[in-house]
A and B are shown apart, each in its own frame.
Chain A
Amino acid sequence: MPTPLHIVVCGGIVPDPLQTLEPAAPNAAFPAQPSLKNEMMLPAVLDPWAAHALFEAAHLSAQVPGSKVWLVSLGPKAKLQQVMMTIAQKAPFELVAIDGPASGFTDAFAAAAALAATIEQIPGLDRGRLLLFGGWESASRGAGSTLQMVGERLGITEQFQGVDRIAARAEGAGFEIMERIEGGRHQVSLLSSPPAVLGWATGYLPEPRNNPQVGMANMRTIMPALQRAKAAAMNGAGPSFASVRLPAVERQTRIVKDMPPEEIAREIVAWMGEE
């Protein structure tokens, strides 16, 4: 029998990707740093990379009886609550919520500190059995630095990034982990035992369907967790932003009539050469 695992998934929330995401200078709602236009009003989702991590965690914990999954999330409480209405239906987990900004402009260092401090406080968490999951990057920033720092702060030095698969080996002989490397290939490593940090790429699991029964079970702990959520102290010398703007999309349309296909092809090839 393999030893039951304690899997902690770090996952933030990000605006729904279909929304118009326009950076805005500091304002009344976000005085300290830039934000997105109407950021609080945009529907949010669990960061897609973290979501893969969560689904993988649920999958792994189902294979290793007695295991448990926590989702540690730093974000505005009210937004977290909305996101939970979907995420809670997808996999059994216990939420640990930290109230604070989830914007792409928050400092990864401060976020990592808040996450690590919170994980250290999780009652009943056995650090010897800990697998720390999360996204290898996030849709809000994509710097790929937070999880590594959380791991370092918790003293976990076995770190894997760009993970697409973890498989428990037979007879409790550790885990096989597949990480993305250059050239579209994977590197396979053996992890003899936890603790370890796994920063997930997409994995191979489909998004689980919503199951309100699972959701109702999760809600019993999620709502109290949201009520308990402490505000994270996120001050500290982070980056300062001189200005923020969207990369410009340029469109150069030229209307020409009666141009022979060969001519068009030649122009395209020439243009590609320029790029």
Chain B
Amino acid sequence: MGLAVKEAKTEYLRALPGDDVRQILWRFADRFDLQMLVQSARAVARGPVARLVAQGARHTHDWTPEKRTLLQAFDESGITSVFLEPSQGGFIEGPKNLALALVAFELAWVDAGAATGSLAGFLALSPIHERGTPEQRDYYMSRCAPAQPGESREPWRGAFCLTEPLPYVGVETGLLGGKVRVAEWKPGEEPVLEVNKRGRFITNAAFANFVTAAVESDDPRIKGTCMVILEEDDPGTFDHGTPTRKLVHQLSSTGDPIFNLKVPASRMVGGYSIKDGVIVPRYSHGEIIEAVFRRTRVTVGIMTSAKLLSAIEPVIRYQRTRFRGGSIASPGSPRYELGLQLKEDAVERLVEVWATGEASASLGFAAARVFDQLDPLERRRDEVLAERKLSGTAAIKARRQLQKDALEYLSGKRPDLADEVTIQYAILDSVANVLCPACKLWNTGHGAQMMREAVSLMGGYGITEDCPGFLGHKWMDAQLEATYEGPEAVQRRQLSITMADDVFLAQFREWIREMRRVANDKPGTGACALATAMQMWLWTLHHLLHSTDANGQKLYQGARQGVTFPLADALCWLLASRCQILDAIELERKGPENPALAEGLPGLTAFLTDLCHVQAARAAGEVGRICASLVFGYNRHPAWDTEGCAACYQADDLEAMEALIPGIAALARGYVDVIESDGSHVAKAGPCVRSAGLDQFSRLRSRMDGCLTGSQLAKDRAAEALTKVMIPEALDYPA
């Protein structure tokens, strides 16, 4: 008598994840405003935007009437008003970071230049939104709102003007060529300023009615730097400039404008005060830019994620239909039905593209949600701080205490601080300070590389204009996403500071424990490998913070970008993978509540779990590689010199010991380098390295190798799922 064996039927991914899946993964299943916004932005992307690209509108960098029609499409579909409060003509209450991220995602799914065009308008308004006076906010926001039915007015369009002709500012806020001086200052009246600014690579330059420009004082009667709002009708020169001959994002307008204008001092963003006859801007341009970019960079990162995910369907279709038609494959044969998907490499590479897309989208949307939480907290914190009226050393002391309290709260010692706004803000802020640059850096940088993979999966088609899904354009465009709003170096620099912050690290430690718990409950996610990699990263950071190189130079320091930058890169892999795993778990938890998902949920979660595993393994591999090279790479390799040989056995000594303990010589030769009686040794660079204090690292590393167990099986399963998943008959936008 035998036991009845009941085989569980393997569930495969049945269809590409639809809206109901994304809403759960990215946590807007209960936000109907956002769900509608997604549909609205999608209709623009896959309609007018896609048609423009298909018609070849990207062949010129000039701002053409055809491209201009997009502005109207943005206005009519609600995209332009996403940024606005309901009282200013918008329709979304509360923070809008996730909303903007979703718009960017939908537009970039088809064309990132279209996304840039729409986002640049928000970027122009952002300084005003984040740091403007209430009057400035109301004035400019409502002017940028599209006309309501019955109104006949063109909405204003803005540009954000920071970057200047070389050698001045890139995104580093240091050197500014743009100048502001007092043109006229009658007693008792508002000063009139003269602003001189030249921009380079300014988005929306061709049609902007106003710009927010970063300038520096060139007048003893104005202090420091500031941002000013310049309008087209201000007296002087408002020259839209020549278009940038760019190779990417051609659906947006970019140019080098020139401004020489007289404006009232009230145009300083955030206003000003007068102290001892000197105009003191409320905010320096650096302060404003920091507040702006930390939000807008997330949306840029999301753009590249969208492109990776958008590549899946066209690549699957290409692979499957590769051999159809003609006589080489007859219907029903594997070659006819699966085409290139018969080849393991083709599907496994696509799995990696998909896994990267999921991880980067998860990271980006997580960052956007953090900012949605942070925005109201920030406002409440500012109120509290304003009430406390601290300045000078008292303020510095308070900040130190805050850091201490936050750490105590995180360690569980001070639960009484749960409602303390300043503490909660500091905790979340430390995460936002890492997630934002990480998303911008990794999504775009690594994303660009994976976009190249996607292109290569389409063969020659990939690099033609006819490629469905415009994959070639998307690849090239990714390079801009990695560059504007701060090239990768700027993100790495920021990360090298924020990732070493104790409040962040305290949370990171908790995240390691969280991943172990996840691994315990759901072993297939790769969370265990990830947790080990996180541990290794943390170990490496501590090691580098407290170690010196072979020359006695401190390792972890601002100028040592060879140390800090790779470690920043390594962290990004971990964060993206963690967010991806958390999203997959969310789907498993909430998916069953949606009856429309029930049928396909087991296959879907199994597939997304496998993608998590694939990504976690890849992340662990990257982190291992980077950390090992940092931990070992700054030590000098021992040579066959006196110092190096001191750690070796001498053959004569071994022989003497052999007489006392038979067998010892052979054993020792297995572990330690031996110098023979004639001074010879094994042919290699020097005695093998035995760095004191690094055993723990070596143990972690070998443990992590073991953690990779099963990850290739996950990749195999995911690849097989790609050969089975049902895709639509055709792409839903023209190519």
Which residues of A are interface residues toward B (Cβ below 8 A)?
16, 18-20, 28-29, 37-43, 76-79, 82, 85-86, 88-89, 209-213, 215-216, 219, 223, 251, 253, 255
Q: From A86, A210, A212, give the contact of B33 (CB < 8 A).
A: A212
How far apart are A4's CB and chain B's nearest CB, in angstroms?
Answer: 21
Bound-state CA distance A20–B731 (Å) is 12
Most chain B beta-carbon neighbours within 10 Å: one of A28, A76, A209: A209
Interface size on B, residues (CB 8 A): 37
A86 to B77, CA, bound (A): 11
Contact in complex: A78, B728 (CB < 8 Å): no
Further contacts, 12 of them, CB under 8 A, given A40-B595, A209-B76? A20-B727, A38-B14, A40-B598, A76-B596, A78-B595, A78-B597, A82-B18, A210-B77, A211-B77, A213-B78, A216-B33, A216-B36
Nearest-neighbour CB distance to chain A for B265, whole angstroms, equals: 37
CA separation between A28 and B327, bound complex, in Å?
40
Contacts of A82 in B (CB 8 A): 18-20, 35, 596
Residue of B nearest to A79 (CB): B596
Chain B: minimal CB distance from A230 (Å)? 15
Decide: A43 and B19 in contact? CB cutoff 8 A.
Answer: yes
Q: Which of B78, B326, B598, B732 contacts A211 (CB 8 A)?
A: B78
- With A20-B726, A210-B40 as known contacts, state yes or no: A41 contacts B600, CB within 8 Å: yes
Q: Collect the chain A residues with CB atoms within 8 Å of residue B726's CB.
A: 20, 37-38
Are A85 and B728 interface neighbours, CB within 8 A? no
Known: A85-B35, A219-B32. A212 touches B91 (CB 8 A): yes
Shortest beta-carbon distance from B245 to chain A in Å: 34
Which chain A residues lie closer than 8 Å to B19 at the CB level?
43, 82, 85
Give the number of residue pairs across the A-B interface with Cβ within 8 Å.
107
B599 adjacent to A38 (CB under 8 Å): yes
| Chain B min CB distance to A231 (Å) | 12
Identify the closest chain B residue to A208 (Cβ): B76
A-facing residues in B543-590 (Cβ within 8 Å): none
Report B338 CB to chain A, min CB distance, Å: 15
CB-based nearest B residue for A30: B599
Residues of A within 8 A of B596 (CB): 40-41, 76, 78-79, 82
Residues of B within 8 A of A76 (CB): 595-596
Q: Is B38 an interface residue (CB 8 A)?
A: yes
Which residue of B has the minimal Cβ distance to A219? B32
Pair B595/A85 contact, Cβ less than 8 Å: no
| Nearest 5 CB-CB pairings of A with B | A212-B78, A210-B40, A78-B596, A41-B15, A86-B39
Say which residue of B18, B43, B594, B600 sits within 8 Å of A210 (CB atoms). B43
Nearest chain A residue, comparing its CB with the CB of B40: A210
Q: B residues engaging A (CB < 8 A)?
A: 14-15, 18-20, 32-33, 35-40, 43, 76-78, 81, 91, 325-327, 331, 594-600, 726-732
CB distance from A181 to the nearest CB of B (A): 33
7 contacts between A and B (CB under 8 A): A16-B728, A18-B728, A86-B36, A211-B77, A213-B78, A215-B32, A253-B325
Q: Which A residues are CB-close (under 8 A) to B728? A: 16, 18-20
Q: State in angstroms the CA–CA spacing of A216 and B93 once bound together.
A: 11
Give CA–CA (A79, B39) in the complex, Å: 14
Q: Which of B19, B39, B40, B600 has the most CB of A within 10 A?
A: B39
Please tell me if the beta carbons of A29 and B598 are within 8 angstroms of each other in the complex. yes
Q: What A residues does B325 contact at CB under 8 A?
A: 253
Given contacts A19-B728, A216-B33, A216-B91, contact A77 B595 (CB under 8 A): yes
Q: Tell me the complex Cα distance, A50–B36, Å.
A: 20
Let me know if A212 and B37 touch, CB within 8 A. yes
Q: How far is the CA of A70 from the CA of B48 in the complex (A)?
A: 30
Contact B600 A38, beta carbon cutoff 8 Å: yes
> Across the interface, which residues of A come within 8 angstroms of B36, CB to CB?
85-86, 88-89, 210, 212, 215-216, 219
Q: Are A210 and B78 in contact (CB under 8 A)?
A: yes
Inside 8 A of B600's CB, which chain A residues have their CB? 38, 40-41
Residues of A within 8 A of B598 (CB): 29, 40
Nearest A residue to B33 by beta-carbon distance? A216
Distance between Cα atoms of A43 and B599 in the complex (Å): 14
Q: Which B residues touch A89, using CB under 8 A?
A: 36, 39-40, 78
Please state if B18 and A41 are interface contacts (CB–CB under 8 Å).
yes
Chain B proximity of A104: nearest CB distance (Å) = 17
- Which of A29, A38, A86, A210 has the most C-beta atoms of chain B within 10 angstroms of its own C-beta? A210
